[in-house]
Structure 1
Amino acid sequence: MKARTSGEVVERTRPKAGGPPLSGRTPAGQLVGETLWRLGVRQVFGVVGSGNFVPTAALIAAGARYVGARHEGAAVTMADSYTRVSGELAVCSVHQGPGLTNTITGLVDAVKSRTPLLVITGQTSAGSIRSNFYVDQAGLIERTGAAVEQVHRPETVVEDTIRAYRRAWVERRPVVLNLPLDIQAVDVAAPAGLATDGTGMSRVPAPTRVSVEGVANLLATAQRPLIIAGRGAVVSGARGSLLKLGQRVGALLATTAVANGFFGEDPWTLGIAGGFASDEAAELMREADVVIGFGCSFTTWTLRHGRLVNPDAVVVQVDVDPGALGLTERVDVGVLGDSDETARAILDELAARDDDGPAYPGWRTETVGARIHRYGRAQTVDPGSVHTDVIHPRVLSLELETMLPAERTIVVDGGHFLGWPVTCWSVPDPEGFVFTSAGFQSIGLGLAAAVGARIARPDRLTVLAAGDGGFLMSVSELETLVRLRLPVLVVVYNDAAYGAEVHHFSGSGAGLELVRFPSTDIAALARGAGAGGVTVRDVADLAPVAAWLEKPDGPMIVDAKIDPDVVGYWAEQDFQGH
């Protein structure tokens, strides 16, 4: 999905399309699968029922790889994760009615994460409103924020499928294609060929001259500029241009959580902006007089509920979606355009004004550099614990950081624990980091996301960090890991509770039994399912993990009994916003 500049538009790459020409008369449902193959779809996740059997089987017969999930909610998250990591659009295939309704949480998360994704689903035949499977699927999908597309007639099945695929790619959003059963069953004449040349695949507007000049004016006079890169910057391939822009104007750099690793080890990077930033990094960010977000949405989490940005600072947002500009009242200037193209245009404008660059170093001084070096990019905490039978989550995380290979894909589920792997584990690049709770802040998506990530990048070790709540909520997908023999390391931060709620309401004096549970032997559960399983209460207990890392074979589940009384600083920041 890396963007490339071409004249006044940005053309997005896509999987290589092609295949034998379609001919003869074919059931419309079968044509859906064959069309998707010719459009370049090579990976499909799903749960197959009578309503989606034919198109799914046709896609597989054409050559696509199919991964069956145990729950439709997991299938859509697998497709989401695969697309994020691989850059190729994946398909999720589900049955009509309850099959579709089971996808809702994962679908909403993909919407909020702006993942290009295609869901194909059966639909009850026209007039069958008394069917047990009937539900207003179009209305349901619209409420999630996903786009709705429909196969209208047997004769338009190919056209309708292409339109749904292209909308997902161009608009960077999930699209759900409804496939009525009566239309699927009709034999239609297959077209001799398909329009798979990418025509109309993307038309991202170039930033206007006025917008570029306005941002250049701000940067030309800024003394402490800050550049924040989000997922949109990752997708557009803007790393090089943003590094050059930062150097040109003397800016410090930061990322949103989902763009973790984007700037690598650049010495002027403050790490992740928002709740995961240390207090010292946040203080530097608050000193910025101009803040430019490239492809980021300035959520309350990124801005620490408005406390991260100085009230007098000017905030600029660059995004390809006009509907995303200014959703937060903190944005002062909105620029419609691709992140990479906009950054390059600003650089060109600044160069035209002054080829020698600014007469001041901006923020990149020895004093600021020393501040960054002194505190690092994550909060440090006292690793001590009053309990003897549990491990401090930071101690666990730092020890694993020394054990894991550099080439890794880190997947982080939602829950109170999440800050420890995010701040303690390094990632090789943004594609090596899948943060499932960034969009909807759901828990329980991690196991499915780990499946998608591993299939997308089998050359890297996939490591999932999950809480006991999220892991047990989605434990059916443990069977998927075992069935596929995927060598995924799953680290469960087990505090026998919904930890965020425990710490949030700890001052209320009552009711915490609602969010606490008896201790669960997750390691034994994992072994019973056919995975490896080890209980960890001390660093020495990680020896079996070290042995597994030497030759990973199937999934390994680490049941880490963490100190339930330790509160992450990111959680304290989040609590302050409620």
Structure 2
Amino acid sequence: MNEPPPVAPATTADALAVTIAGYGVRHVFGLMGDGNMHLFTALSQHGVQVVEVRHESAAVAMAEGYGWTSDAIGFCSVTHGPGLTHTATSLVVAARNHSPLVLLLAETPEGYEGAQHFDQELFVRACEAPYRRLRADDDPVSVLAERVALATDLSRPVVLAVPADLFTSAPGTTPAPPGTRSVRRPVEEDDRVAARELARALSRAERPVLIAGRGTLTGDTATLMTRLAERHGAALATTVPAKGMFDQHPYNLGISGGLSHRRAEEVLRAADLVVAVGSSLDRGTTSSMRLFRDATVVQVVDEEAGGPVHPNVRRLFGDAERVLSGCLAAPGPVPVAGHWFEPVPPPAKCWEEDLTDFDPPIEAGTVDPRRALAVISEALPGDAVVVVGNGHCSGFATTFVQVPAVGRFFAAHGFGSIGQALPSAVGAALGSPGHKVVVFEGDAAFMMHLQEVETAARVGADVTAFVLNDQALGTEYQRLLAEGADAELAAVSTPDLAAAAGALGARGRVIADASAVDACARDALAPGLAVVEVRVARSVLSRHMRRLRRAVAVPGSSMD
């Protein structure tokens, strides 16, 4: 018997829902409003779970986290007006993180004159995302496909705006025009030129270092970098987002920049050539170029467009994998034997030195965050996904928490924003079922999205959050203290976080004594949702913050 022909979607909402389901997407994140409610019903009817968040900013952050771990495009949806404005920070964060995702945005219907009308396109473009409005005659399937292709090509969020009345109208039939790339990508000749220049630079260098950034997390780039390091005796380092990439390699230095450990800094400062791949070489990675003031710095990039280039940086335009492969294949001298630097111990061992270099008194009822995190790190499941938030807590978590053996690491640091780790982690958990997702966040940042603990409980996200609670805006507190100003202005008390988490559906725990860290951590890391309030001493500063305070205390001094 012949199969009946497929039924054409009756509405634009149906067409969009069928297309999203066809991408293999299991979850769409959003907050329902009168503008997008018919899209949500269509998604549900076509087997896609709509994760209703408690704030629209979290919808975008969860879609970003979902994309991190599912290796698929994340989708989210909000209604018009304030539904859009609430997403602003998370849109910019995703843009700065180069995270591809699609925001399906409701627009007010034609002729609408209510309170929620404003120039949504202007707002979205200010948030660094491309904007496309669906017209009545547009084929929604081809337009959405074009948006997905653009998000992938640009590695950034894109917005498809749909007038609310179109969701319930019959879909149009005019196909989307072929998409055009807004940036030129490298071709084979670019790769050959870049490979030749890189090979020449490496052949001349005596003390090379290779740095891997976020752009090396997929494909074979990391493997090619290790082969190149072994050929030229180069040290290997990463940016924060690529933390852990070379942890099993003897040439590994760990993180480059403000979060380097002392032994790594000594090698990095001695380099005469630094090659960055998949990295924007921001001030955090280079310590505002002070770390490499005596080196030639080469950056392999696959976009001609970009921000200003530091005078010490030379950009090579090419596809990273093809450039590295070409460099390895280039004729040249016999590979060097060994390496030019003294290999450093594994990062966890190196950071133990910080505990003796700086050992302040610890107030009763609190713990040293470094020592607590080192213990928690040992308890992490081997395949855990680690998400670290921004703020003073990141100076501890990024250094004292190691990437699990077969796990993954993500830094929720984009745009310098705090508060992104928890919602990103919920999306990451739904994108990687079967893996425990572990969040490290500060108290002020956690409070910004505390309500999403209920979202995590409702959808069954396997997340454990360790909240480093110093009852303050930690970075600002320490900086004001260093300046001799009233640091108590940055001391903001928090409620009982374990009790609050319990009321929202999580297992709440408290760590206030060093002897309880291991048992409490292992209990909280059992399957299911848990929030652990780690009460930390303000007397403990991260190494990065100690250097910053020295620079503030002695005007004109260096952070080196």
| Fold match (TM-score > 0.5) | yes
Match of 1:315 among 273, 293, 297: 297
Contact 2:143–2:176, Cα closer than 8 Å, also in 1: no
State the match for 1:562 in structure 2.
Answer: 536
CA–CA separation in structure 1 for the residues paired with 2:191 and 2:461: 48
For residue 504 of structure 1, what is the aligned residue in structure 2?
Answer: 479
The question of whether the paired residues in 1 share the 8 Å contact of 2:146 and 2:176 is answered with: no
- In the superposition, relative to structure 1, how do residues 173 and 388 fare at CA in structure 2: closer, same or farther (>3 Å)? same
Q: Within the alignment, does 1:230 sit opposite 2:209 as a pair?
A: no
Residues 138 and 401 of structure 1, relative CA distance in 2, 3 Å threshold: same
Structure 2 residue identity aligned to 1:357: P
Q: Does 1:353 align with 2:327?
A: no
TM-score by length of 2: 0.90
Q: Secondary structure at the match of 2:538?
A: coil
Contact residue 91 and residue 157 of structure 2 kept, 8 A? yes
Number of residue pairs matched by the alignment: 544
Aligned sequence identity (%) = 31
Deviation at 1:330, TM superposition (A): 4.6
Counterpart of 2:367 (choices 391, 410, 426) is: 391
- Tell me by how many angstroms 1:186 deviates: 2.5
Matches within 5 A, 1:292-441: 292-309=275-292, 311-324=293-306, 327-330=308-311, 332-349=313-330, 352-354=331-333, 356-358=334-336, 361=338, 364-365=339-340, 368-369=342-343, 376=350, 380-382=354-356, 383-428=359-404, 432-437=408-413, 439-441=414-416
Unaligned runs of 5+ in 2: 552-557
Amino acid at match of 2:239: T
Q: For each residue in 1:369-398, what CA deviation from the matched residue of structure 2 results, as whole angstroms up to 9, or x when unmatched?
A: 268899736761244524222111111111
Q: 1:243-254 counterparts in 2 under 5 A? A: 243-254=226-237
The match for 1:114 is 98
The alpha carbon displacement at 1:443 in A equals 1.0
- How far residue 319 of structure 1 moved from its aligned partner, in angstroms, is 2.0
TM-aligned CA deviation for residue 413 of structure 1: 1.3
- Aligned mates of 2:224, 2:269 — CA distance in 1: 24
Residues in 2 aligned to 1:411 and 1:159: alpha-carbon distance in whole angstroms: 35
Which of these residues, 126, 149, 152, is aligned with residue 169 of structure 1?
152
1:261–1:430 contact (8 Å) kept in structure 2 = no
Q: Indicate which of 440, 452, 464 corresponds to 1:489.
A: 464
DSSP-derived class of the 1:208 partner: helix
In structure 1, the gaps of 5 or more residues are 1-19
Output the amino acid matched with 1:559: E
Quote the offset at 1:36 in angstroms. Answer: 2.7
Deviation at 1:497, TM superposition (A): 0.3
Partner of 1:221: 204
Give me the whole-angstrom Cα distance separating, in 2, the residues matched to 1:21 and 1:142: 41
- Which of 445, 452, 455 does residue 430 from structure 2 map onto? 455
Structure 2 residue identity aligned to 1:400: I
Contact 1:31–1:190, Cα closer than 8 Å, also in 2: no
Alpha-carbon separation, structure 2, partners of 1:448 and 1:195: 35
Alpha-carbon distance in 2 for matches of 1:370, 1:330: 30
Q: Partners in 1 of 2:6 and 2:317 — Cα distance?
A: 40
SS of structure 2 residue aligned to 1:380: helix
Distance 2:283 2:381 in 1: 33
Assess if the C-alpha contact under 8 Å between 1:271 and 1:377 holds in 2. Answer: no
Tell whether 2:493 aligns with 1:518: yes
- Aligned equivalents of 1:203 and 1:286: distance in 2? 34
Deviates more, 1:327-336 or 1:455-464: 327-336
- 1:72–1:100 CA contact under 8 A, matched in 2: yes
Are the structure 2 counterparts of residues 547 and 68 from structure 1 closer, same or farther at C-alpha, using a change threshold of 3 Å?
A: same
> Which one-letter code corresponds to 1:76 in the other structure?
V
Mean CA deviation greater in 255-264 or 62-71? 62-71
Q: CA deviation at 1:235?
A: 2.8
Is structure 2 residue 523 aligned with structure 1 residue 547?
yes
- Which range is displaced more, 204-213 or 257-266? 204-213
Which deviates the most, 258-267 or 536-545?
A: 536-545
Q: Secondary structure at the match of 1:513?
A: helix
Give the secondary-structure state (helix, strand or coil) at the position aligned to 1:258. coil
Partners of 2:380 and 2:404 within 8 A in 1: no
1:66 to 2:50 alignment: yes
Q: Which amino acid aligns with 1:313?
A: A
> Structure 1 residue 142 and structure 2 residue 125: aligned?
yes
Give the drift of 1:480.
Answer: 1.2
The answer to whether the 8 Å contact 1:522/1:559 transfers is yes
Indicate conservation of the 8 Å contact 2:139/2:176, yes or no.
no
Matched residue SS, 2:17: helix
CA distance in 2 between counterparts of 1:21 and 1:212 reads: 52
1:166 alignment partner, SS class: helix
CA distance in 2, matches of 1:388, 1:223: 51
Partner amino acid, structure 2, of 1:26: A
TM-superposition CA deviations, 1:61-119 (whole Å, max 9, x none): 32323322111101110111111122111101111111111111111110000001111
Does the 8 Å CA contact 2:129/2:156 hold for their aligned counterparts? yes
Contact 1:24 1:190 in 2 (8 A): no
1:279/1:547 Cα in 2 relative to 1: closer, same or farther (>3 Å)? Answer: closer
| Residue identity in the other structure for 1:86 | S
Spell out the pairing of 1:30-45 with structure 2 (5 A cutoff): 30-45=14-29
Task: Give 1:225 shift.
Answer: 0.8
Shift of 1:236: 3.7
Q: Residues 378 and 210 from structure 1, CA distance in 2 versus in 1: closer, same or farther, beyond 3 angstroms?
A: farther
| Equivalent pair of 2:376/2:521 in contact (CA under 8 Å) | no
Amino acid of the structure 1 residue aligned with 2:132:
E
For the 8 Å contact 2:191–2:323, the answer to whether it is kept is no
- Cα distance, 1:459–1:188 mapped onto 2, change above 3 Å: closer
CA–CA distance in structure 2, aligned partners of residues 42 and 150 of structure 1: 25
SS state of the match for residue 500, structure 1?
helix
- Pick from 405, 410, 419 the counterpart of residue 444 of structure 1: 419
Match of 2:75?
91
Q: Check 1:430–1:45 CA distance in 2 against 1; reply closer, same or farther (3 A cut).
A: farther
- Contact 1:28–1:154 (CA under 8 A) maintained in structure 2: no
- Aligned partner of 1:14 in structure 2 is none
Q: CA RMSD in A?
A: 2.9
Change (3 A) 1:100 1:574: farther
Structure 1 pair 370–121 and aligned structure 2 pair: CA distance change class (3 A): closer
Match of 1:205 in 2: 186
